């Protein structure tokens, strides 16, 4: 017993040191990259597992179509990054193989397909999720997830803290003894400040007059309490914006209250609550398959779907029918992030037409609907019609 406690304390001490070092690195971090000052913006394309390569390559094809002039002029370069597969990760026992990480770090922004996340008891070694590892390695601290359902008056943007909370040490919990296992939740002051700042700045720029801070600070008093207090502190710099506080349980309920939910605009949440509630939110829009997300850091940014790799579709030979909508929505966010707002708006409008209005092609995930490639062609022809003023 004493030995177990001693071993746990030693491990805990190491965790504290590593988290304090991380907090220092966050403080030392300078400004965001200014893409307009780069000679060439390098976009890494990383397919992932399952349906990942199919939907990611399709979104990359659409992006290349939209950016063809920039590519010819050498202002944008696409780079395929191979090797972020569960087989490779399992073989080297790492969430991201070293050579893949080195290639990722040579890019400015990354379009990434879903990756398989091992869990205890499945056929893979229980290594850390590649998503979570990439968010940490590239310090992608803000997970920005928009959800829009115009017909229901829903226009939400979630700012999910992406490197701390329950995820920071999610693969470093302590198995003290057969009777006791402990995980940790982490909040740093600067980590909370930077996500709050980004969310309020976004609200101000986009004329959103409400920001809702969502925690469980009544129970998780120390870490959620700190997160909440810091968000409230930052809110004082934005007097034109109404800031309110919610607990995650009642917010989860309020998202299905059609009288209240249209009041919400921008949300700030710790990592785990943000993970859970954005799946719920995406469901109103047509499911997680329709939602893209931006993982934003000061130096790098990565854009992905919010769903998993759908291995069943692949084992049933249906991956050609996979829906690329989530990755195309992620592509919209990528275009906006690197300063091509006009092209982002064009693609976003084309997706609204294809997904909600015209619906000349529909994806069903099976041979009863369009293939991923056909859908990509449909989106590109819609973009062309819009550009010609025909749609």
Instruction: Write out the residues near Mg ion by the rule CB under 5 A.
Output: 275
Contact call for residue 131 and ligand IPM (CB under 6 A): yes
Is position 275 an interface residue for ligand IPM (rule: CB under 6 A)? yes
Confirm or reject binding of residue 56 to ligand IPM (CB under 6 A). Answer: no
**Least Å from the CB of residue 271 to Mg ion:** 10
Site for ligand IPM in 107-126 (CB under 6 A): 117
Contact with ligand IPM (CB under 6 A): which of 132, 134, 335, 354?
Answer: 132
The correct pick among 54, 129, 188, 336 for binding ligand IPM (CB under 6 A) is: 129
Q: Which is nearer to ligand IPM, 54 or 117 (CB)?
A: 117
Task: Spell out, one character per residue from 225 to 264, where the chain touches ligand IPM: x when CB under 6 A holds, - when not.
Answer: ----------------------------------------
| Distance separating alpha carbons of residues 340 and 359, to the nearest angstrom | 26
Joined together, the tokens standing for residue 65 give: 């179509």
**Residue partners of 109: CB distance under 8 A and separation at least 6:** 41, 42, 43, 44, 300, 301, 302, 303, 334, 337, 338
CB of 295 to ligand IPM, least distance (A): 8
Which partner in Mg ion, ligand IPM, none is near 132 (CB below 5 to 8 A by kind)? ligand IPM
Q: Judging by beta carbons within 10 Å of its beta carbon (0-12, 13-18, 19+), is residue 250 exposed, middle or buried?
A: exposed
- For residue 58, the minimal CB distance to ligand IPM (Å) is 20
Q: How many residues line the site for ligand IPM (CB under 6 A)? A: 7
What span, in angstroms and rounded, lies between the C-alpha atoms of 195 and 159? 7
Q: Is 57 in the site for ligand IPM (CB under 6 A)?
A: no
Question: In whole angstroms, how large is the CA radius of gyration of the chain?
Answer: 21
Question: Rule CB under 6 A: which of 327-386 touch ligand IPM?
Answer: none
User: Among Mg ion, ligand IPM, none, what binds residue 117 when CB lies within 5 to 8 Å by partner kind?
Assistant: ligand IPM
Residue whose CB is less far from Mg ion, 103 or 128: 128
Chain residue whose CB lies nearest ligand IPM: 129
What's the min distance (Å) between Cβ of 143 and ligand IPM? Answer: 7
Could you tell which of Mg ion, ligand IPM, none binds residue 83, using a CB distance below 5 to 8 A set by kind? none
Strand order in the sheet with 109-112: 76-80, 41-46, 109-112, 301-305, 292-296, 142-149, 154-161, 266-269, 210-215, 242-247
Beta carbon of residue 35, minimum distance to Mg ion (angstroms, whole number):
27
Our finding on whether 306 is near ligand IPM (CB under 6 A) is: yes
Distance of CA 345 to the CA centre of its chain: 20
Site for ligand IPM in 308-337 (CB under 6 A): 308
Q: Residue 25 and residue 21: Cα distance in Å, rounded?
A: 6
The residue (of 234 and 330) whose beta carbon lies closer to ligand IPM is: 330
Closest CA to 27 of 169, 167, 185, 193: 193
Closer by beta carbon to ligand IPM, 131 or else 192:
131
Convert residues 68-107 into a mask of x (bound to ligand IPM by CB under 6 A) and - (unbound): ----------------------------------------
| Smallest separation, CB 221 to Mg ion (Å) | 25
Is 198 near ligand IPM (CB under 6 A)?
Answer: no
Nearer to ligand IPM, 131 or 348 (CB): 131
Nearer to ligand IPM, 173 or 308 (CB): 308
CB of 50 vs ligand IPM, minimal distance in Å: 12
Is 330:294 a contact under the CB 8 Å cutoff?
A: yes
Calculated CA dihedral for residues 304, 32, 72, 384, nearest 10 degrees: 50
Distance in Å, CB of 128 to Mg ion, minimum: 15
User: What residue ranges bind ligand IPM (CB under 6 A)?
Assistant: 117, 129, 131-132, 275, 306, 308
């Amino acid at each position: 017993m004493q030995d177990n406690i001693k071993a746990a304390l030693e491990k805990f001490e190491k965790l504290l040191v590593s988290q304090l070092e991380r907090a220092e690195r966050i403080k030392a971090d300078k400004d965001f990259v200014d893409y307009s000052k780069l000679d060439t913006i390098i976009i890494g394309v990383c397919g992932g597992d399952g349906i990942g390569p199919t939907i990611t390559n399709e979104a990359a094809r659409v992006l290349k179509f939209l950016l063809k002039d920039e590519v010819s002029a050498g202002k944008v370069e696409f780079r395929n990054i191979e090797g972020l597969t569960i087989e490779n990760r399992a073989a080297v026992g790492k969430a991201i193989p070293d050579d893949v990480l080195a290639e990722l770090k040579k890019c400015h922004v990354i379009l990434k397909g879903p990756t398989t996340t091992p869990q205890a008891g499945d056929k893979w070694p229980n290594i850390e999720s590649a998503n979570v590892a990439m968010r940490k390695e590239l310090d992608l601290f803000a997970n920005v997830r928009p959800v829009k359902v115009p017909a229901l008056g829903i226009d939400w943007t979630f700012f999910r803290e992406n490197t701390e909370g329950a995820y920071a040490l999610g693969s470093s919990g302590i198995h003290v003894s057969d009777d006791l296992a402990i995980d940790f939740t982490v909040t740093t002051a600067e980590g909370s400040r930077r996500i709050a700042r980004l969310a309020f700045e976004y609200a101000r720029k986009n004329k959103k007059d409400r920001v809702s801070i969502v925690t469980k600070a009544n129970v998780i008093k120390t870490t959620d309490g700190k997160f909440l207090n810091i968000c409230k502190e930052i809110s004082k710099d934005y007097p034109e914006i109404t800031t309110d506080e919610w607990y995650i349980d009642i917010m989860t309920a309020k998202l299905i209250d059609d009288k209240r939910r249209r009041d919400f605009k921008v949300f700030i949440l710790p990592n785990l609550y943000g993970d859970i509630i954005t799946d719920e939110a995406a469901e109103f829009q047509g499911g997680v398959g329709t939602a893209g997300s931006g993982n934003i850091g000061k130096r790098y940014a990565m854009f992905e779907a919010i769903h998993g790799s759908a291995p069943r579709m692949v084992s049933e030979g249906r991956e050609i029918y996979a829906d690329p909508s989530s990755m195309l929505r992620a592509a919209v966010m990528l275009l906006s992030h690197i300063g091509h707002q006009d092209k982002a708006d064009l693609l976003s409008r084309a997706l609204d037409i294809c997904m909600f209005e015209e619906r000349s092609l529909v994806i069903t995930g099976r041979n009863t609907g369009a293939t991923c490639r056909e859908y990509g062609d449909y989106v590109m022809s819609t973009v062309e019609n819009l550009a010609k003023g025909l749609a």
